[in-house]
Amino acid sequence: MISRVKGFLIEVKTELEKCSWPWDPKEKGVQKYRELIDSTTVVVVAMLLLSGYIAFWDLVMVNLVKLLVP
């Protein structure tokens, strides 16, 4: 059992070393996380735009139903 867990952890370490992480280990400070910050900004802006779009159409549909249902 212990050897299986040890083998699993070694495989996990090997796979994690192959990953492309969203930060540059050569940089210092905030510049190290520039790609991560940029990606997060894109996701937040996309979420805000999508939520505004959904809220707009929800408002339109609610008012349309209010007109049709007495």
d(CA 62, CA 69): 11
Distance of alpha carbon 33 from the chain centroid: 15
Q: Is the model more confident about 26 or about 1?
A: 1
d(CA 52, CA 61): 14
Q: What is the pLDDT of residue 34?
A: 85
Residue 23 pLDDT > 90:
no
Q: What is the pLDDT of residue 55?
A: 99
How do residues 24-53 score in pLDDT, each as one tens digit? Answer: 777 787 778 888 889 999 999 999 999 999
Give me the half-sphere count of Cα atoms (radius 13 Å) on the Cβ side of residue 46.
6
The model's pTM: 0.61
How do residues 13-22 score in pLDDT, each as one tens digit? Answer: 999 989 887 7
Distance of alpha carbon 12 from the chain centroid: 22
Give me the half-sphere count of Cα atoms (radius 13 Å) on the Cβ side of residue 59.
6
